Chain A
Amino acid sequence: MSEEVLQQAAPGLIPGSGTARAAKLTRLSPSFISWLQAGPMMLVFLAFFLIPLVFVVIVSFWDYNEYQLLPAFSGRGYTDTFEGCIAQLPDLCTIGRTYVMTLKLCFMVWAITLFIGFWVAYFLAFHVKSKTWQMGLSLLCTIPFWTSNVIRMIAWIPLLGRNGLVNSGLVKAGLINQPLEWLLFSEFSVVLALVHLFTFFMVVPIFNSMVRIDKSLIEAAYDAGASGFQTLVNVIIPLAKPGIVIGSIFVITIVMGDFITIGVMGGQQIAAAGKIIETRVNALQFPAAAANAVILLAITFLIITMMSRIVDIKKEL
């Protein structure tokens, strides 16, 4: 009995018993085994990502009325979306303006989270010596996720609002006469909230790349007479590149699709690609929403492709 169990757990361990099955297993090609290993994840991906995505693409070419989808081919979702894009030139059409705004926010958030995230990761990897402290301090970065969006919005008003802490502090200090209006419900507050939320997604992959840098490389650079800055630029940044790219992909994909934080912090007055989809879905115009989702996906995919051109993540990992 026990022999049998052992043999099941580790076939081939016990010579002379169950040889036939063990032989069969070893005959399986390595590529088949790797397919087997990737299989479960692939199935999950297929069922919950690829198939729904195919449906979204199909529905984006359907027609619709006030209360139902009409499964007949129609490019209406797309033509409506790009309505006026040629007629209004040189002014931008709705979708053009929306994407300019989305990309602008995306770029600002990306640049700031990268800067802050890089230095936080650098500090954690090279200046914090104990593993426990490294762990504890990275957990601190997750604090912004402990609250819901609604709570967060309510919490920002007393801080950044017209009568909020920052404004009343500045007025009392005599630095300004009038409360600053742009502190809340503005691009500033949107970027602030997004940076506050998503710097964490930069810290983790960059930190992960940095701790794997062989310390002797840095010592070698030092011994060879490199300054701290030269070591950073020529050793640390190139070796942390995979982390930087992965973190960037996280931040960019999340910000491109975000409409809740942009809505809440922008006072619902700032356009976002995700917001258009939401408005369409709420009006039960599913094909138009699907068309916008396909466009968003295509643009995000384009950005990611460009980034992976710069760094071959597969190779670097």
Chain B
Amino acid sequence: MTETTRTKGVSRRTLLKGTAGLAGLAAGSGAITGFPYVKSADAKVLRYLGTAVNEGDDISKQCLKDTGIKIEYITATTDDVTKRVMTQPNSFDVLDTEYFSLKKIVPSGNILALDAKKIKEFDNITPVFTKGETPGGKKIGGQGTAPWKVLYLEGKDSKKFATSATEFVTLIPTVYNADTLGIRPDLIKRPISSWSELLNPEFKGKASILNIPSIGIMDAAMVVEASGKYKYADKGNMTKEEIDLTMKVMTEAKKAGQFRAFWKDFNESVNLMASGETVIQSMWSPAVTKVRSMGIPCTFQPLKEGYRSWASGFCVSKGVSGPKLEWAYEFVNWFLSGYAGAYLNRQGYYSAVLSTAKANMEPYEWAYWMEGKPAEKDIKAPDGSLLEKAGAVRDGGSYEDRMGGVACWNAVMDENDYMVRKWNEFIAA
């Protein structure tokens, strides 16, 4: 009996030795066949937590080629990204999130402010973020969590937003857009020019809004204001009475059967619109493009009351330090250097540093996407698929017109808890 035990033990040990040898061999071969300038011992890997907006395979491949940094995407919904930052701050290195989340994330102390001096293109970031105006000097609406209100911190470890520029930046801006209503011009058959049309009984049972409470209520507020029922001091930060009033208007519309369905997911919005279940709804720019690429007419309709805008950017987890922090800076600098910016612009978003993106786009592409000019040639998506035929003009026109027309920004209200309760009441009504 003892004899057998010993034999077994030896064989186990031999096996372990063998495995170790194999592992060593694997590691060794990795170092030999890998990129010659990257030692396998310190492979540059960054775990990148964010929503799918900025996460393209093309971007991570190009990044690896240019900088040797390997990006590991962790994709989650906007809500889940915030949840993860709060509950598992060590599960990611680079965070890609929206400015409105900062009101929750910064006080938690789970992120590290980046040093503006280490960002090469920081001074070239569009004044939309730093001054609240377009490059052409148009003043942008600041209701809600506008990026320039939460861009800087008072100090390195501060949890307070600074009122003037400091070198400690909460999020280095990357991408943003101006959102409005998507419509089916073939089914509506008349011009639409105001947010109030969302609750027009003409579209009973054919309208939809976004089922993310903090964003849905902003769209609702645009409608309330457009219909002349009330004028908000700040749609992105309502008082309890204002929340009650907004939800009352929405509840009446819901009870009257105005809404076909609420959507939460990109594909849901595309399906509702493409199938004709809805003809007017809050929407995102790439979703409109997707409906159109299915051969179905869909317009991202500019409205006289303006757009609701959103913006996102990069910061790092507070657990990141040493060489990893340097790679993070290297990655952010690469992201702003043009390739990624051009990639995002071609999807209908906007890049934070316009000059570098422009250098990476064809002049006819720039003219179509950014200057609102008719397309000289067919417009293609980053993956090469046809988006628009020559001659088409972008909905809403130029960057100046679209960003200059922004009325408010996605927000987290001070009365967020009350608002969420009211939203549940609205769903139950």
B421 within 8 A of A: yes
Residue numbers in B under 8 Å from A158 (CB-CB):
275
Residue numbers in A under 8 Å from B428 (CB-CB):
94, 97-98, 101, 271
- Tell me whether B259 and A269 are in contact (CB under 8 A): yes
Interface string of B396-429 (1 = CB under 8 A from A): 0000000000000000100011001101110111
A80 within 8 A of B: yes
Interface string of A146-179 (1 = CB under 8 A from B): 0000100110011001110000000000000000
Residue numbers in A under 8 Å from B56 (CB-CB):
none
Residue numbers in A under 8 Å from B82 (CB-CB):
284
Interface string of A48-75 (1 = CB under 8 A from B): 0000000000000000001110000000
Residue numbers in B under 8 Å from A269 (CB-CB):
254, 259, 261-262, 427
CB distance from A59 to the nearest CB of B (A): 13
Q: Which residues of B contact A (CB under 8 A)?
A: 1, 4, 79, 82-83, 86, 103-105, 107-108, 205, 211, 213-214, 254, 257, 259-265, 267-268, 271, 275-277, 412, 416-417, 420-421, 423-425, 427-429
CB distance from B35 to the nearest CB of A (A): 38
- Tell me whether B420 and A283 are in contact (CB under 8 A): yes
Known: A83-B421, A279-B420, A282-B79. A163 touches B107 (CB 8 A): no
Task: Sample 16 A-B pairs with CB under 8 A, ordered by A number.
Answer: A66-B417, A80-B417, A80-B421, A94-B424, A94-B425, A97-B429, A98-B428, A101-B428, A154-B271, A158-B275, A161-B275, A162-B276, A181-B257, A268-B262, A279-B420, A280-B420
Residue numbers in A under 8 Å from B416 (CB-CB):
66, 283
- Tell me whether A271 and B276 are in contact (CB under 8 A): no
User: Could you tell me the distance between the alpha carbons of A150 and B417 in the complex, rounded to whole angstroms?
Assistant: 29
CB distance from B25 to the nearest CB of A (A): 38
- Tell me whether A67 and B276 are in contact (CB under 8 A): no
- Tell me whether B264 and A268 are in contact (CB under 8 A): yes
A285 within 8 A of B: yes
- Tell me whether B276 and A279 are in contact (CB under 8 A): no
- Tell me whether A181 and B104 are in contact (CB under 8 A): no
- Tell me whether A66 and B103 are in contact (CB under 8 A): yes
CB distance from A221 to the nearest CB of B (A): 50
Question: Number of A interface residues, CB 8 Å?
Answer: 37
- Tell me whether B268 and A153 are in contact (CB under 8 A): yes
- Tell me whether B412 and A66 are in contact (CB under 8 A): yes
Task: Give the total number of A-B pairs whose CB atoms are below 8 A apart.
Answer: 96
- Chain B's closest residue to A270 (CB) is B427
- Chain B's closest residue to A93 (CB) is B425
Residue numbers in A under 8 Å from B275 (CB-CB):
157-158, 161-163
Residue numbers in B under 8 Å from A83 (CB-CB):
421
- Tell me whether B211 and A67 are in contact (CB under 8 A): no
- Chain A's closest residue to B427 (CB) is A271
User: Could you tell me the distance between the alpha carbons of A185 and B268 in the complex, rounded to whole angstroms?
Assistant: 13
User: Could you tell me the distance between the alpha carbons of A158 and B276 in the complex, rounded to whole angstroms?
Assistant: 11
User: Could you tell me the distance between the alpha carbons of A279 and B205 in the complex, rounded to whole angstroms?
Assistant: 24
- Chain B's closest residue to A154 (CB) is B271
A184 within 8 A of B: yes
- Tell me whether A67 and B260 are in contact (CB under 8 A): no
- Chain A's closest residue to B85 (CB) is A67
A4 within 8 A of B: yes
A196 within 8 A of B: no
Residue numbers in B under 8 Å from A161 (CB-CB):
275-277
CB distance from A212 to the nearest CB of B (A): 44
CB distance from A77 to the nearest CB of B (A): 11
User: Could you tell me the distance between the alpha carbons of A104 and B352 in the complex, rounded to whole angstroms?
Assistant: 51
Known: A268-B211, A284-B83. A185 touches B261 (CB 8 A): yes
- Tell me whether B421 and A150 are in contact (CB under 8 A): no
- Tell me whether B268 and A68 are in contact (CB under 8 A): no
Contact residues, A1-26 vs B (CB, 8 A): 1, 4
- Chain A's closest residue to B412 (CB) is A66
Known: A157-B277, A267-B261, A279-B213. A67 touches B417 (CB 8 A): no
Residue numbers in A under 8 Å from B104 (CB-CB):
66-67, 284
User: Could you tell me the distance between the alpha carbons of A83 and B422 in the complex, rounded to whole angstroms?
Assistant: 11
User: Could you tell me the distance between the alpha carbons of A98 and B424 in the complex, rounded to whole angstroms?
Assistant: 9
A295 within 8 A of B: no
User: Could you tell me the distance between the alpha carbons of A157 and B82 in the complex, rounded to whole angstroms?
Assistant: 32
User: Could you tell me the distance between the alpha carbons of A49 and B92 in the complex, rounded to whole angstroms?
Assistant: 28
Residue numbers in B under 8 Å from A184 (CB-CB):
277
A311 within 8 A of B: no
CB distance from A149 to the nearest CB of B (A): 10
- Tell me whether B265 and A67 are in contact (CB under 8 A): no
User: Could you tell me the distance between the alpha carbons of A67 and B108 in the complex, rounded to whole angstroms?
Assistant: 6
User: Could you tell me the distance between the alpha carbons of A185 and B259 in the complex, rounded to whole angstroms?
Assistant: 10
- B86 CB contact (under 8 Å) in A98, A279, A282, A284: A284
CB distance from A175 to the nearest CB of B (A): 20
- Tell me whether A279 and B423 are in contact (CB under 8 A): yes
- Tell me whether B259 and A267 are in contact (CB under 8 A): yes
Known: A66-B412, A185-B261, A285-B417. A275 touches B79 (CB 8 A): no
- B107 CB contact (under 8 Å) in A67, A101, A157, A267: A67
CB distance from A90 to the nearest CB of B (A): 16
A276 within 8 A of B: yes
- A68 CB contact (under 8 Å) in B83, B108, B259, B429: B108
- Chain A's closest residue to B262 (CB) is A268
User: Could you tell me the distance between the alpha carbons of A282 and B264 in the complex, rounded to whole angstroms?
Assistant: 12
- Tell me whether A162 and B277 are in contact (CB under 8 A): yes
- Tell me whether A150 and B429 are in contact (CB under 8 A): no
Contact residues, A265-291 vs B (CB, 8 A): 267-271, 275-276, 279-285, 288
